[in-house]
Structure formats: C-alpha cells, structure tokens
Amino acid sequence: MSSNGSVPDRQEDIIQFPDKTETVIREMCRTELCCPEQDLTAQINELFPTEQSLTQLDSVIAQVEEEIEDLDNELALLVESNASVRFEGEEALQNAHKAMEELEKSIESIRGKTKSSDEIVKEMTRDIKQLDVAKRNLTASITALHHLHILLSGVDSLGTWIERRDYCSISRQLPAILNVLQLFDGYREAEQIAVISSKLERLKQTLTIQLANDLKAAFQTGQISERVTDMCRVAAALEGNVKENFCKWFIDLQLSEYNVIYAENEEDGWLDKIDDRYKWYVRKLTDFERTGLANVFPADWDMARLMTKEFCNTTKDVLKKMMARRRQDLDWKLLGHAIQHTKMFEALLMKRFPAKNNIGFDKAIWIVFDDFLDVFIAEQEKTLRSFLEGCSNKIRSGAERPSREASTHAVPLPSSADMFLLLKKIITESNKLSSEPDALLKDVIGVVRMCLREYAAGCLTAFLHSSFRHSSNSTTLFNLMREESTQTRLTLDEQFLTCCILATADWCAETTLQLQEKLAQRITGIDLNQEMEQFYGITNQALAVLVQDVEGACDAALQTITKINWSAVDQVGDESPFVASIRSHLRNCIVCLRDMLSDRRKYFAHLCLKIATQLSHKFIGALFRCKNISTHGAEQLLLDAHSLKSFLLQLPSVNSAVAAKPPTAYVNSVNAALTKAELILKLVMTNLENPEEFVADYTKLLPTSDINEMQKVLEMRGIKRSEQAVVLSIYRRKLGISTDPPAASVSSSLTSSVSAASLSMPASASHAFNAVVSLASDGFADSSTSIEKLKRLEKLVRRN
C-alpha cells in the first residue's frame, strides 16, 4: 500500500523493509481475526467448524469490517503525524548542534584554566626545590665543618698523645681520625686538607717507629700490662704491615728456642725424637695461655692460632730438608713412628683450634711425609719377597705340603691365606700412612700385583710336575719320544699336591676378584684381571698334569692294539683285554681324583671331559696304526669301541654311591669322538668292489674327513698303494680337489702330518709321540729313507 492509500500496480513498487521492521509490522497487524502466519482455510475452519456455526457469519463479517475501519483510521492518523514528525526532528537536530558548540566553548575554557594552574604549581615547586637544595648544601657544609673540626682537633691531639705515649687515647681515637680523613679523599688537592694529610702521615710514621720499639721493649723486659693491649690495638689500627711485622717478630721470639734445639743439623731433631718436638710446643702453648700472655693480645688477633700455624710450617720445612739430606737413614719403622706421633699431635691441634679463617691443622705436618713413602713401598716389597721365598721353601721341604691323612679332599695351601692376610695388612697400613691414601694405594697395588704373580709362579706353577713344565720350543721329536718312553707316573701324594695347587689357584683367583671389587670402590680403573687369568691358567695346567698322568698310563694298553694281528682274527668274542685294562686303570684313578676334588666339582667334571676326549682321540690314532684288519677283526674292534664308549660315558660317576647323569657337553664330546671310531670300523668292513659306492658311503659317514684319513682307512683294510690311487682319485674328485701326482700326494701328506705333529707338540709329550707314530703309519717311517725323513721332520718342527 502506498502513502496515499492506493495499492501499487507492479510488484517492484512494493516497499521493502528490514526484517526487524517487518517483524514489528506483523506484530502490529495481529488481531483476533487476522493471523498472517495462519492458513486462511484453516482459520475459516476454525471460525466455522460446523454447519450450525454459519449462523454467526453476519457477526463475523461485522467484526472484520470493524477491524478494517479501525486500521484505516489508525493508518490515516499515522500518515498525518508523519509530516509533523519531520519538522520536529529537524528542530531537535538544530538544538543538538547548538548544544555541541556550547560544550566546545566550555572545554576550551577549562583547558585554558588548566594551563594557568600548571604555571602556578611550577612557580610554587620551584621555590620549594631551591629551599631543599639550600638545605642539603647547608647540611653538607655543617657536616664537613664538623668532620674538619674533628680531624684538626684529632691530629693536634694525636701529636700530643704520641709525645706522652698515651696509647690508650691513641687506640680509641686513631681509627676515628683515619675514618674521617677518608671522607676528604676527594678534596686532597685543597691546600688545607693537603696540609692536614701530610701532618697526619708524619705522625703515623713517628708512631709506627715508636710503637714497634715500645712493643718489643715491653715483651723483652717482661713488663706486660693493659698498656701493651692498647699498643696492640694501635698496631692493628695503623695502616701497612705494622701488625703483621709485629706478629712475626713475636712468634719468632717465642719459637727461637725451638729453632735452636730442633734445628736440621741437631741430633735431637731426627725422626726418632719427633715426639719431643711436639711435647716442647705443647708446653710452650700451655705456658702462653696459662700465664695470661695470650690475653694481652686482642681476641680477634687469635695469636695462639697464628703461633701454632707458624710452628707447623717451620716443623714441616725442617723435617723435609732433614729427611731429604738423610734419606739413606730412613726406614719403615722410623717413618711409621714419626707419622703416628704427627697424627696424634695434629688431632690435638684440631681439637684445640677448630678450622677458622682458612686456618686449620688437618694434615698440616703429616703431608710432608708423603714424598718419602717410597720407603714403605720398598720395605713391603722386600717383606713380600721374603714371605714368598719362605712359602716356597716350606712347600719344597714338605713343611707346608698337604697331607692326605689330614684332609680327604684337596684344600688350598695355608700360605695362600697368609698371603692375602699380609696384603690386607699392607693396604690397611697404607691408609694410615699417607695424607692422600688413594695416591699411595696406587703404588701399593703395584706391590700387590707383584706378590700375586710371583706367588703364582714360585709357589704354585713351580711345584707342578716337571713333565708338563718342559719347554716345547726346545724339545725335538726325538726328545719327546725319549721322554714318553721314560715317563713316570704320579704318586698319590703328587696327585694330591697337584689337586691342592689347583684348589689354591682357584681360591686365589676368586679372592683376587673380591680384592679388586673392594679396591674399585676407592679407586676407579683397578684391574687385576691379568693376575686372575694367571691363577686360572694354573688350574688348567694342574688339570693338564692330572690328565696327562691318567691317560698316559693307558698308552701301554692302547699300544697293544697295534701289536695284535687283526688280519688273523676269525671270530668275535668278548671285549679285548686292553679295554678291561683301561677300565680298571680309570676306575681306580677317577675314584681317587673325585675324592680329592670333591670340593671342586666343576674341575672334576672338566677333568673327566679332558680324559675321555683325549683317550678317545688316542684310541682313534691307535686304530689308524692297525693294518690289514679283517672283517672279524673290525667287528671285534667295533665291539671294543662300543664297550669303551659305554664306560667313558659313565666315567664321572663310576663307583659312586650316587649315579648322577653326566653333563650334556661331556656326553656329546665322548659320543662324537668314539662314534667316529665306530664309523671308521664300519667303513673298514664295507665292501670295496665298487670304489664309487665306497667313496659315497665314506663321504656320507665321515663328511668332515680328508684325504689323509681316507688313505689311513684304506691302509687299515690292507689295500695296496697302487690300488689306493683309484679310490683316492674318486674321493678327490668328490671333494673337488685336483688330482696330484703320487709324489705330490706323499709330499702333501708329509707336510700335513708335520703340521699336525708341530701343532700337537705344545700339548704334551704324549701327543708328540702319537704324531711320530702317525707319521710312521703314513708309510715313510718304515722305508729305507726313514732316518733322513725323520731328520727333515725334526728340522721342520724346530722351524715351526
């Protein structure tokens, strides 16, 4: 609807109002009969729900017409009032502009008044500041005049007091005068201040000379009174070294007698009478305090502490020069005596004078002995060497040899416990001697290492059986053969001694580890691993001696294998006599060794393992030396190998009340060694009509074998050298090895055998002997040139 009440003809002529205005308009148009958001049909149905309600149609129409009339009247009123409202709005806007202009004028007026107020305030504060400055200047002037008056009067009075020697007044006023003079440091260029300063400096010089003379005279004549205390206070107030010079003079005076009696060149000054030094000073200090002389000095001087400090410094210097000059006269007992009394004296001083002002007496004199503790190290090294020599002599003479009657099992030698007790004592003593125990401990550890190494070599290794300690570098094959043939068995006492050496080395290794852990708590980087390894090496050597003794006794039985004509064996019977001999010997030896090593079970298990494996390898070596073995002979040897394996598997618990299961490693080692022997014997029984099949069976049963073993197996079968070539050629082709001429084959076999012999030499003489026999079985030891070849072999071994 337009402003004149007509309805617009086009849709674009409809006036669009904001949403808020539209909302207000809709609220104004809402009446009982007019609900814009309601559907017209729904509204009609609501007014006339039934046919009977249509009777009210006239009244409803009348109400609608009445509402339309009211709306028209209201709209006409609004249109009329809209014209007057525009004029009223323009008038109100003009009034607002006028009010803003008046407000701006008021603000300008207030701003002007504010500026004038600031000027007034500045004028007022300017005067106040001038008054404050004047007041400060006046106060400073009055104070300066007052200080100047004090300084002038004090300087004049000081001159008078110096002339009268009035040290009481000087001690009270001199600090104040000097403090006031410091206030005029910035005015020293002023004439009057310069004059006063110069005068005061002259008075101080006069007072210094006069005071020093009077103080010395007072103490020299013994006229000690309160006046001396005042003089000391004056000395403390004076600048320069007045106090220090006097203290030094006084302390030198008190210690002058000491410097004469206990001088460096005096006999009473030597270390054997060091306690007299300390007694003298204790008496001096007691007299100093008991006579009241200490009370003469101001308390803050702490003259007794200063005098004690000088005594300690003097004593330390004298002792150092004296010990350096008479170093050859020093011994451990004398040095220990001096250190002990010094520590007692320092403990007394620390109790009397607790640390204060960076002056303490902990290790004040003690530290001088640190440079001479090499005497202690040398003495302990000498003591340990003497102890080790005594231990060796006792073992050699039998005084410390263990007795099987005294103990059923092997025990460590008593000397080992005595050695570690002695080492513990030395380490404990070193902690008491040095002012820096950790520094001395590093030198002590060197002595400990020496002791452990020499004990291991001189008291343990030296008493192992001599056949094991024979040098392999200087031993030829012929010497080894000669030693093998003349080797003697260990007696029960020698076996027991070897087991005791093993137990001792094991115990020493464990104790050395504990010692290393204890020392590492104090010093990082302590390493006694080499000494521990040396002891563990001795246990291995002792085991090797026992193994060599036990298995060496079986050599005779094993040699009988090579003496039997196995080609003549035509039936298989019971086990061969050599198996029973080995079983009988091992049963007796193992039972004794098990009892001896009952306290070292791990070593007994290792001993059984070594005996079983080495005996198994020797058995295989003996088999290789057998020639022309028949099928029945191979079956007999196979039976013997099985019997030997069954016995060796039960070796650790033979004749034991408790049948313990052997360790898995032991079972595997014995099985591996003797199973190889069984496989070799099975190959000896294998048909050789088809070389290809034989080689296939050989590589299947012995996959890790080589040409040399193949050749030995063929010799065990009695195959001639000419017939061996075909089998060996097939075997080489199977292994992928080029076929060599016969001479090269013999040379290769010789070289490998020599290498095997040279490698086995360090183990024992028995091994070297087996190597020689093995070489002989390879076919050259029984030839016409055997002597020449053995000589060449000996040269090769020496070269290796």
Residue 154 has what pLDDT?
66
| Nearest Cα to Cα of residue 258 among 237, 279, 241 | 279
Query: Among the three residues 519, 546, 573, which one is the final residue of a domain in this structure?
Result: 546
Q: Residues 516-528: pLDDT tens digits? A: 999 998 888 889 9
Same domain assignment for residues 344 and 425: no
In the chain, pLDDT over 90 holds for what percent of residues?
22
What is the chain's length? 800
Per-range mean pLDDT, top range of 201-205, 464-468, 777-781, 794-798: 201-205
Cα separation, 207 vs 159, in Å, equals 9
Q: pLDDT-based confidence at 149, cuts 50/70/90? A: low
My answer on whether 540 and 488 are in the same domain is yes
Count of domains for the chain? 3
Q: Is residue 234 in a domain? A: no
Do residues 313 and 400 both lie within one domain?
no
pTM assigned to the model: 0.66
pLDDT, residue 317, reads 93
> Dmax over Cα atoms in the chain, in whole Å?
162
- Domain stop point among 546, 562, 586: 546
Q: Give domain status of residue 554, yes or no.
A: no
Whether 394 and 522 map to the same domain: the answer is yes
Q: What is the domain extent for residue 346?
A: 241-372
Least confident of 26-30, 101-105, 267-271: 26-30
774 within domain boundaries: yes
In a domain, 461, yes or no: yes
pLDDT, greater one: 487 or 768: 487
Instruction: Provide CB contacts within 8 A for 581, sequence distance 6+.
Output: 554, 556, 557
> From CA 155, how far away is CA 153, in angstroms rounded?
6
Within a domain: 752: yes
Domain final residue, candidates 372, 390, 422: 372
Grade residue 322 by pLDDT with cuts at 50, 70 and 90.
very high
Q: Based on the domain organization, do 348 and 286 belong to the same domain?
A: yes
- 262 and 309 co-located in one domain: yes
Query: Same domain for 351 and 438?
Result: no
532 and 388 in a common domain: yes
Q: Which residues contact 564 (CB under 8 A, 6 or more apart)?
A: 576, 626
> b vs e for 590-610, b when ≥16 Cβ sit within 10 Å of the residue's Cβ?
bebbbebbebbeebbbbbbbb
Q: With the C-alpha atoms ordered 104, 109, 115, 121, is the resulting torsion angle positive or negative?
A: negative
Say if residue 392 is in the same domain as residue 503.
Answer: yes
pLDDT digits (tens, 9 = 90+) for 653-687: 887 766 677 788 888 888 888 899 899 989 888 88
Any domain includes 272: yes
Percentage of the chain lying above the pLDDT 70 cut = 81
List residues bridging with 356 in a β-sheet: 359
Cα separation, 321 vs 173, whole angstroms: 48
State the chain's mean pLDDT as an integer.
79
Q: Which residue has the tokens 């073995």?
A: 629
Do 332 and 436 have their domain in common? no
**Angle at Cα 176 formed by Cα 172 and Cα 179, nearest 5°?**
150
Same domain (yes/no): 426, 344: no
pLDDT surpassing 50 at residue 773 = no
pLDDT tens-place string over residues 68-92: 888 788 777 777 777 666 677 777 8
Give pLDDT, residue 237. Answer: 75
pLDDT at position 513 is 95
For range 120-143, the mean pLDDT: 77
Higher pLDDT, 5 or 220: 220
**Which residue do the tokens 């313990």 mark?**
660
In a domain? residue 651: no
What is the reported pLDDT for 798?
46
**Segment 594-647, tens digit of pLDDT:** 888 888 888 888 998 999 999 999 999 999 998 888 888 889 999 988 999 888
Q: Do both 274 and 387 map to the same domain?
A: no
The residue whose two tokens read 């033979």 is 654
On whether residue 138 sits in a domain, the answer given is: no
CATH of the domain at 481: 1.10.357.50
Per-residue pLDDT tens digits for 323-367: 999 889 888 889 999 999 999 999 999 999 998 888 889 989 999
- What is the predicted pLDDT for the residue at 786? 42
